[in-house]
Amino acid sequence: MHLIPAGKNRFKLPRQGKMKVDGIVYLNDKLFRHIYRDNSLKQLANAASLPGVVRNVFGMPDIHQGFGLPIGGVMATAVPEGVISAGAVGMDINCGVRLITTNLSREDVNRRILENLIEAIEYFVPTGIGKKSRRGEFKRDLFLKILHHGVPVLIDEGFGWKEDASFIEENGCLPGAKSEAVSSEAMKRGASQLGTLGGGNHFIEIQFVEEVYDQETASRFGFRENQILVMIHTGSRGFGHQICTDYTKILYKAGKNYGIEIPDKGLSCAPINSPEGKAYYAAMACAVNFAFCNRQLITHDVRRAFQEVFQKSATELEMKIVYDVAHNIAKFEQHREGKLLVHRKGATRALPPYHPTNPPVYRETGHPVLIPGSMGTASYVLVGTPKAEEPFFSVNHGAGRVLSRTAAEKEISKEELKASMQGVVFDEKAYHLLLDEAPAAYKNIDDVVDTLAEIDFVKKVTRLRPLAVIKGKD
């Protein structure tokens, strides 16, 4: 598998073998050297061979090998003749990012205050693989309402502000959820995990606005220089993981029965309108709504922690949601080919100003595109442009790994981790649990963002720097 240049920061994976469309990968010269380190191009080629795939399959600048579709991959299939794939959405369904403002400034938070905030947040929000909510299991009736109707249910229960849902992708609820499509094992895993952070690359980060690139748009989003913000990155926990595991098996068997040649089990799929395809979408929508609600409960608890530390209400601290975006999701959308099912795996939707499906609060600006960096490095807020239509208005979701977790643990020392985290408050006692998330395990976030900014797919709004980070630890 070899790429050929196809314009600035743009490479083509030519159609070959059983591919039905070309692959397009967005890279600059610095990122290009990483592309042949894993099997991500082979995974793109596999996706390009599925029935009903349209236009091209796309790899974002943060592309790296995943399960089925590479992370940083985008694939759209025609409706109704195309397929739906659990592996093209991912294990952590609706892993995503939420950003919250405050009216605090950098000078308001010294190291001691940051340590107090971390302690307070960790008291309210359990972190780590398998951790359960301090609230215990939600009652079944309420849990089912959450799966079907998302964040508005939690707001009605007192976990949030009335306006919160307006600042969440899909208003915090993806239509089409049906809990009967979810296995009892997934239900069991999910019922006790709402409001927990999880492990791996998930985090809660206290940041400040380091640089403003677009003053007008930044003001519309509620930003100013040196302002304190909170970024939350987590998803659907064991609930979504179990759904992906269940339906990978179901779709693999179904695809064979429908005569689909499945190039890799990670891309198990079935026709969109088949009983199995419809069931997966209904279960996936439940996980999407679970994840929106997970971040909503964490938002509620982060507000509580700030209130406790600063002895002011979250309203007084102006802790508003800027936006909440999904990374791993399949959505029915209208594009120039007509109605498509767009699979984004480790990719972020980026609608430009005045796009009809922007949330009303951001119709004139385009919604904020939230791009977290690796632990200890910068994050960005961007907006999409009309040129991002090429990859179905999709951009990257983060920096993207260059070292596997195992390789990072072997190659990165405690001293290197501490040096890369200089000036950032984190749990140094647990450094051995964080080596796989060290900045050196990831691509340079500036290179990743600049790759798309230089071809006018996105416009930079602000650059954010971390002051303190909470990682989900085992």
The Cα 427–Cα 445 span in angstroms is 23
Element (H, E) at 387: none
Q: Is 129 helix (H, G, I), strand (E, B) or coil?
A: coil
Q: Report the Cα–Cα distance between both ends of the chain, in Å, rounded.
A: 37
Q: If we measure between CA atoms, which residue out of 176, 200, 58 comes closest to residue 128?
A: 200
The Cα 350–Cα 366 span in angstroms is 8
Residue found by looking up tokens 């042949």 in the block: 36
Active site residue 397: yes
Instruction: Report in angstroms the alpha-carbon separations of 116 from 5, 109, 303, 415.
Output: 51, 10, 14, 25
Q: If we measure between CA atoms, which residue out of 372, 375, 373 comes closest to residue 436?
A: 375
440 φ/ψ angles, rounded to the nearest 5 degrees: -65, -15
- Active-site residue among 233, 335, 397, 432? 397
Helix, strand and coil content of the chain, in percent to the nearest 5, comes to 35, 25, 40
Amino acid residing at 348:
T
Supply the angle between the helices 275-310 and 140-149 in degrees, to the nearest 10.
110
The Cα 471–Cα 197 span in angstroms is 8
The Cα 62–Cα 345 span in angstroms is 11
379 φ/ψ angles, rounded to the nearest 5 degrees: -120, 165
The Cα 232–Cα 121 span in angstroms is 12
| Bridge-based pairing state of the strands 23-25 and 57-64 | parallel
> Residues of 321-343 as b/e, b for ≥16 C-beta within 10 angstroms?
bbbbbbbbbbbeeeeeeeebbbb
The Cα 164–Cα 66 span in angstroms is 32
- Quickly count: other Cβ atoms within 10 Å of residue 180's Cβ: 9
- Quickly count: other Cβ atoms within 10 Å of residue 465's Cβ: 18
Q: Which two tokens stand for residue 464?
A: 């954010």
Q: Is 398 helix (H, G, I), strand (E, B) or coil?
A: coil
177 φ/ψ angles, rounded to the nearest 5 degrees: -70, 135
The Cα 265–Cα 69 span in angstroms is 11
Residues noted as catalytic = 397
